[in-house]
Chain A
Amino acid sequence: MKKLLLTGTLTAAAAALVAGCSAGSTPTLPSAPAPSSSAAPSPSPTPTRAGCNNNDNTRVESYAPSGPLPAPGDFRGSTMEKIRDKGKITVGVSADNLLFGFRNPITGQLEGFDIDMVNEVAHAIFGEDIKGKVEYRVENFAQRIPDLRSGRVDLVADIMTINCMRWSQIAFSTEYFHAGQQVLVRKNSPYTDVGQLNGRKVCTATGSTGSQNLTSLYPKVVQVHVANISDCMVLFQQGSVEGIVSDNTVLSGFASQDPYARIAGDQFTKEPYGLGIPAENVDFVRFVNALLQDMRTDGRWATIYRRWLPAPVPNPPPAVYGRALP
């Protein structure tokens, strides 16, 4: 029942998206998933790490917070204290993803939904003044997991889909945004679904879930891989590819930069976004989850949504806990 409801909402969101894009440059985005205010811990047991190597992204459970969010400075012996002592938090982000993580060409600064999430985490650790305390590391998608595993970054806020295989390598916060994958095509093209692009060239980013989904769901589509997803848009505008498969968050950013592009078809996957954190920093995951829960309830999440995405503001994705501590 819940699943049906979800699909209905997403389809409606997709339709709104298409309409929004054809209207012009207004950034359009799908709404978050089915309204749900329940933050109740999920009773389902945690899947064991061993044996999980698929792209199952229905298991979004994360670690429950250990209590209310501690005040900045009150982190004895924790990962947060290490970050605070280091004087800065190093974060992996995108610079070419309009609306979520992008370099504003006018100011040269990084902006977007994900950047705002990062700032909230930074405030929770450093307090009011975070100037110079956030070090951005602009990454392409394939670099995110290796950088988390090597400890090069403390956090990844880069429209990263929570899935089972990734959980075996890193840890995720609870879901903070719900997206789905679609395909971007030229406005005058006949395509209404990814399946119609069999034998055609479709661009995705190396190491992205889009590439994996195409391989498993639409194996006849000819994939063109690039390091940065925005390179797909260059190929698309040059006519070297017929379509781009990625999250609708990315695609709507593209569509608002090109009036001759439209998003086609239904969302064929669910993409729950989580903040990526090194697997061993469980305390940091629980800390971030406590922060996210505060943001869901005190309106900060809605404020960020309103800043970047069109109204109406949906309910935030519910927190799902229950993953057993390692």
Chain B
Amino acid sequence: MTVIETGQPAGAPIPQPPPARQVVRQVARATFEGTPGRMRSYGAFVVLGCLVFGLFAFIAASSRASALSSARSDAAQLVRIQAIRTNLVFADANLTNAFLVGGLEPPAARSAYQEGIATASTTLAEASGVSAQDAAVLANVNDVVTQYTGLVESARANNRIGYPLGAAYLRQATQLLRTDALPPLEDLVKTEQARIADSYSGSAHAVYWLVIGLLAALGILLFTQIWLAGRTHRLLNLPLVTASAAVIVVGVVLVATMAWSQSKANHTRSNAYFATVELATARIDAFDAKSAESLTLISRGSGQAYDQSFNSLARNATMILNDAADQGGADEQAAKTAFAAYQSVHQQIRAEDDRGNWDGAVALATGGKATDANAVFGTFDTASAKALGQRSAQLRNDLSTARAPLTLLAWIALIVGVAAAVTSIRGISLRLREYR
């Protein structure tokens, strides 16, 4: 064993103050040369390793948590935009149906129209407040909705005086909604879906950083302990063992939690998220189809385009509702049954109209009986709204659940990393002290 001379020999002439660089080199040599020096070197690596673990684990867990939280807020925004679309087509369906009745519109239809527009406007304001990215598109949609309601009021005013010009205003209004308000919202839904997909995949690699930090810290800890055992003939260094154990426990728990969180999030994506998007789409298509039914009758024999539009919308809604019923609960089943019932009423309406009984068709489409289109469609509306409400609440909860432990564990990992580093310093200095 070499002993390092640290003092100056007595009586030597006082040397010139050495240049600063030389002093540093001397101190470094004194610190890191020989066995105690190596101990200090390994100690430094161990400390670094523990800190890196703490930091990497913190970054990995918190970036995953923030990704899930942005997925959650993107999903909430998606739900809002779908709600705007739904309320607009809901209002339009009530409007066109009321128009079909002729004369004074039924108060219930009028208030349903107003409620739809009011909810759409509030949700528009809310959605553009939440996302600066969406604000421009939403402001545009808001303008179109204002124009739409203006045209609708012109239609009403003309109608009340008995002017057929009201029909032209109504046609303009429904067309404006379908060309200038609904398509940008549909695009926004796609954008939001892409954002959610980004959030899902964006920090999927975070877990690798955690594993790298964990392996690095454990490797250095293990190597140092084996080396120390060889040099000092003491098998265990309690502080280092404690630090290793803490790193292993926290690391493994964190890896497991992240894996669980990921699988929970993936499960949510293919269940509650998917169901939320699909159910909202089914509702939008259904209301749109209901409008198309009224517009077909208003066009009185030249509404083929509206009728085709009804068929493709209803087909799409049926497909989605069948899938939803297969995977969902009682409400999805009820929604599916109610929509099928509505479609059979629609068939009757078409049959009446096609055989020339327009008045009979209108009576079925606007009547107040439980077997008439409005009541049957109302059953679908209630059931599908309930199913959608449950699914979107589930989506919110699932994403919160998947995120909640990550935030806490991120901080725990950081603290444990620092604590392990401190403990390791203690462990190394114990051996250093013994060495003197």
Where the two chains meet, the residues of A that have a C-beta atom closer than 8 Å to any C-beta of B are 88, 90, 95-98, 102-110, 132, 135-140, 143, 228, 230-231, 233-234, 237, 254, 257-258
- Quick check: B171 and A228 within 8 Å, CB to CB? yes
Residue of A nearest to B175 (CB): A231
Any A CB within 8 A of the CB of B41: no
Considering the complex, which residues of chain B in the window 151-195 have a beta carbon less than 8 Å from any beta carbon of chain A? 151, 154, 158-169, 171-172
A107/B164 in contact, CB under 8 A: no
In the complex, the answer to whether B362 meets A108 with C-beta atoms within 8 Å is yes
Q: Which of B103, B164, B301 has its CB near the most chain A CB atoms (within 10 A)?
A: B164
A contact residues around B300 at 8 Å (CB): 95, 103, 110, 136-138
Q: Which residues of A contact B102 (CB under 8 A)?
A: 103-109
Question: Would you call B358 an interface residue if the criterion is a C-beta within 8 Å of the partner chain's C-beta atoms?
Answer: yes
Q: How far is the CA of A110 from the CA of B356 in the complex (A)?
A: 14
B155 → A minimal CB distance (Å): 9
Given the known interface contacts A95-B164, A137-B302, the answer about A108 and B103 at a Cβ–Cβ threshold of 8 Å is yes
Give the residue name and chain of the B residue nearest to A111 (CB).
B164
Q: Mostly helix, strand, loop or mixed at chain B's interface?
A: helix
Q: Does B26 contact A (CB under 8 A)?
A: no
Q: In the complex the two chains form, is B165's CB within 8 Å of A136's CB?
A: no
16 A–B contacts, CB within 8 A, in A order: A96-B164, A104-B102, A105-B160, A106-B162, A108-B102, A135-B356, A138-B299, A138-B301, A139-B301, A228-B168, A230-B168, A231-B168, A234-B151, A234-B168, A234-B169, A257-B164
Q: B164's closest neighbor in chain A, by CB? A: A102
Q: Which residues of A contact B165 (CB under 8 A)?
A: 96, 98, 230, 233-234, 254, 257-258
**B357 at the binding interface (Cβ < 8 Å):** yes
Complexed CA–CA distance, A139 and B362 (Å): 18
Cβ 8 A contact of A143, one of B158, B302, B357 = B302
For B103, the chain A residues whose CB sits under 8 A away are 105-108
Is B341 close to A, CB under 8 A?
Answer: no
Are A105 and B302 CB-contacts (below 8 A) given A132-B356, A228-B171?
no
Contact between A105 and B100, CB atoms less than 8 A apart: no
Partner of A96, one of B154, B161, B167: B167
B357 — nearest CB in chain A belongs to which residue?
A: A132
Cα separation A95 to B168 with both chains bound (whole Å): 10
Is B101 part of the binding interface, using a Cβ–Cβ cutoff of 8 Å?
yes
B100 to chain A: closest residue by CB: A108
Q: Indicate whether A105 sits within 8 Å of B158 (C-beta atoms), given known contacts A137-B302, A257-B163.
A: yes
Quick check: B158 and A231 within 8 Å, CB to CB?
Answer: no
CA distance A237 to B166 in the complex (A): 12
Q: Which residues of A contact B158 (CB under 8 A)?
A: 105, 257
Cβ A231 vs Cβ B171 within 8 A: yes
- Chain A residues near B362 (CB, 8 Å)? 108
The 8 A CB mask of B3-43 against A (1 = contact, 0 = none) is 00000000000000000000000000000000000000000
| Chain A residues, Cβ within 8 Å of B172 | 231, 234
Which among A143, A234, A257 has the greatest number of chain B C-beta atoms within 10 A?
Answer: A234
Give A147 to B159 CA distance when docked, in angstroms: 29
Partner of A105, one of B154, B164, B299, B301: B164
Report the minimum CB–CB distance from A72 to chain B (whole Å). Answer: 19
Q: Within 8 Å CB of A110, what residues of B?
A: 300
User: How many Å from the CB of A117 to the closest CB on chain B?
Assistant: 18
Contacts of B159 in A (CB 8 A): 105
B301 touches A137 (CB 8 A): yes
**CA distance in complex: A136, B357 (Å):** 10
Chain A residue nearest to B172 in the complex (CB): A234
